[in-house]
């Protein structure tokens, strides 16, 4: 009888060691190594190439081929009824793709995937759950889609955790789409360790990856996250899949954000916004309306900036509060914005404009619970800080779209036409941009100002912008 093999795995990054270590040499975390039993029997992994679900056109050749000899065919993406989901995936679901979705407990991952599974017309979708019973899923289905819950639609439910039994049912059903909830609950007979361990997660994902690629069947995996916000399991899990989606938001608020962290088939900077209702998730087609608060009168410290998330332009509300520090060291706090960049903006305002902010507490907030990394909101944030410091409201219906340099210059930003069009669509009367975005002749792309009714104010220095704003 073969000797049982054991190894030690880091539960944080998946590093494997032959002996126990106090500190992981890969991620430098302490006391993360756990012993796991590894024993591989002679049972072979199912050969999906010989299965009826795979055609000869899907089989890949193992011989080396020149890049020029590869025949490229336009991929046919599977479009879902959810436009936000299609945008985040890069235009729809790619055949044979493996997608991982992570998020906080109770944020709505299972609701999102069950809602997707029940709204795919003409397709057989297999929803595999290792966390809930069939009755629990039926109760959620009745709440999400009462009509589809009664008729059943094309959604099949399987409550199973063994990958061997799952593949047997998949071979009989031959679904067009597979959803696994969640990958941490599955276990393979090829590994003798507990479900959720590093080796089990890696082995189960590898089996599902082989099935997805050899049958061209899309597979969605729901993954748990750690207390640090990282997807649980080994880091190799994120490298194995094609797309990693993060479902974010506060459970005490109604809005949820679906963000692409990794995407082999599209942009990794796309964003989808949902509203959590009693009957499920509703896609928000115009996020600018929910990110802007309704105000009856002008308030100091509030500005509107035009930003981009992927291909989508959005207007966000930036808030600043500047007050006299009650302690020796002033406080610096930013919500939804990089604190280091906020300190840079404060240094520019003090050095180039003469505002004494060294003894002031400064608080910044990006409304809506989203995080912005676009430098085009620099001018809007600087205007909000000065507005709060001087207690002078920024003129109503004013928008900003420019980056602020260390010398106080207003730098140009990309895709300025989309930002101006979004501000005009929402009824803003003027927008401050960099004068370097304006047509200057030569080979630069000319900005057609005739098609805009909004007043465009180009500025080159921050002092010039503040002179127009506050006089």
Of 8, 12, 7, 9, the closest CA to residue 29 belongs to 12
Which pLDDT score, from 0 to 100, does residue 41 have?
47
Is 278 found in the same domain as 313? Answer: no
DSSP class of residue 185? G
Domain boundary among 230, 255, 285: 285
Which pLDDT score, from 0 to 100, does residue 204 have?
92
Residue 424 in any domain: the answer is: yes
Is 324 found in the same domain as 208? Answer: no
Q: Could you say which residues of the chain have pLDDT below 50?
A: 1, 41-45, 49-61, 149, 151, 441-444
Strands 255-263 vs 243-248: parallel, antiparallel or unpaired: antiparallel
Is 445 found in the same domain as 363? Answer: yes
Residue 72 in any domain: the answer is: no
Domain boundary among 252, 270, 285: 285
What is the pTM assigned to this prediction? Answer: 0.76
Which pLDDT score, from 0 to 100, does residue 48 have?
52
Residue 43 in any domain: the answer is: no
CB 8 within 8 A of CB 32: no
The DSSP string of 274-316 is EEEETTEEEE-S-HHHHHS---SS--TTEEEEEEEETTEEEEE
Is 133 found in the same domain as 162? Answer: yes
Residues 6+ positions from 7 with CB-CB distance below 8 Å: 16, 17, 18, 35, 36, 38, 199
Is 130 found in the same domain as 17? Answer: no
Which pLDDT score, from 0 to 100, does residue 177 have?
95
Taking only the tens place, the pLDDT of each residue in 11-58 is: 877 788 889 999 999 888 898 888 887 655 444 445 554 443 434 334
- Per-residue CA distances from 321 to 83, 197, 470 (Å): 37, 46, 17
Residue 67 in any domain: the answer is: no
Domain count, the chain: 3
* Structural domain span for residue 371: 290-470
Domain boundary among 285, 315, 344: 285
Q: Contacts from 12-17 at CB under 8 Å and sequence distance 24+? A: 12/226, 13/234, 13/235, 14/198, 14/202, 14/233, 14/234, 14/235, 14/236, 14/237
| Whole-angstrom distance, CA of residue 216 vs CA of residue 58 | 7
CB 440 within 8 A of CB 462: no
Residues 6+ positions from 381 with CB-CB distance below 8 Å: 303, 305, 318, 320, 337, 342, 345, 364
Is 88 found in the same domain as 30? Answer: no
Residue 32 in any domain: the answer is: yes
Is 265 found in the same domain as 390? Answer: no
Binding residue numbers for ATP: 103-110
Is 276 found in the same domain as 317? Answer: no
| Whole-angstrom distance, CA of residue 110 vs CA of residue 140 | 10
Structure tokens at 241: 């899949």
Binding residue numbers: 103-110
| Full strand arrangement of the beta sheet holding 98-103 | 155-159, 125-129, 177-181, 219-223, 98-103, 243-248, 255-263, 271-277, 280-283
Three-state DSSP class for residue 339:
helix
CATH (domain of 95): 3.40.50.300
Residue 208 in any domain: the answer is: yes
Is 163 found in the same domain as 309? Answer: no
Is 310 found in the same domain as 222? Answer: no
Residue 447 in any domain: the answer is: yes
């Amino acid at each position: 009888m073969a000797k049982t093999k054991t190894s030690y795995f880091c539960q944080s990054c998946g590093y494997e060691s032959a002996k126990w270590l106090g500190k992981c040499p890969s991620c430098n975390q302490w006391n993360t190594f756990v012993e796991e039993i590894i024993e591989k029997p002679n049972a072979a992994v199912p050969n999906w190439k010989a299965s009826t679900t795979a055609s000869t056109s899907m089989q890949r050749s193992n011989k080396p081929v020149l890049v020029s000899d590869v025949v490229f065919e336009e991929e046919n993406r599977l479009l879902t009824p959810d436009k936000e989901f299609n945008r985040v995936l890069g235009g729809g679901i790619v055949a044979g793709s493996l997608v991982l979705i992570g998020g906080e407990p109770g944020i709505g991952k299972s609701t999102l995937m069950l809602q997707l599974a029940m709204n795919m017309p003409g397709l057989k979708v297999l929803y595999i759950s290792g966390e809930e019973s069939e009755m629990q899923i039926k109760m959620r289905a009745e709440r999400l889609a009462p009509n589809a819950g009664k008729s059943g639609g094309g959604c099949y439910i399987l409550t199973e955790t063994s990958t061997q039994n799952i593949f047997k049912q998949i071979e009989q059903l031959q679904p067009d789409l597979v959803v696994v909830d969640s990958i941490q609950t599955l276990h393979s007979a090829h590994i003798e360790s507990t479900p959720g361990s590093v080796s089990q997660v890696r082995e189960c994902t590898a089996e599902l990856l082989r099935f997805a690629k050899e049958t061209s069947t899309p597979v969605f995996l729901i993954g748990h996250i750690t207390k640090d916000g990282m997807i649980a399991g080994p880091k190799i899990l994120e490298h194995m899949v094609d797309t990693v989606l993060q479902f974010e938001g506060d459970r005490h608020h109604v809005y949820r954000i679906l963000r692409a962290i990794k995407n082999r088939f599209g942009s990794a900077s796309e964003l989808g916004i949902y509203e959590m209702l009693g009957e499920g998730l509703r896609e928000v087609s115009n996020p600018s309306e929910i990110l802007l608060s309704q105000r009856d009168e002008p308030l100091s410290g509030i500005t509107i900036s035009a930003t981009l998330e992927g291909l989508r332009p959005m207007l966000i509300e930036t808030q600043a509060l500047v007050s006299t520090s009650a302690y020796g060291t002033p406080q610096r706090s930013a919500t939804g914005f990089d604190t280091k960049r906020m300190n840079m903006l404060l240094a520019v305002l003090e050095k180039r404009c003469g505002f004494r902010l060294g003894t002031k507490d400064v608080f910044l907030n990006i409304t809506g619970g989203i995080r912005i990394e676009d430098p085009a909101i620099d001018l809007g944030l600087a205007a909000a800080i000065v507005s709060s410091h001087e207690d002078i409201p920024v003129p109503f219906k004013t928008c900003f779209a420019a980056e602020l340099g260390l010398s106080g210059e207003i730098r140009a930003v990309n895709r300025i036409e989309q930002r101006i069009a979004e501000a005009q669509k929402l009824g803003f009367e003027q927008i401050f941009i960099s004068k370097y975005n304006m047509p200057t002749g030569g080979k630069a792309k000319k900005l057609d100002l005739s098609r805009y009714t909004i007043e465009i104010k180009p500025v080159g220095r921050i002092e010039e912008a503040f002179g127009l704003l506050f006089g």
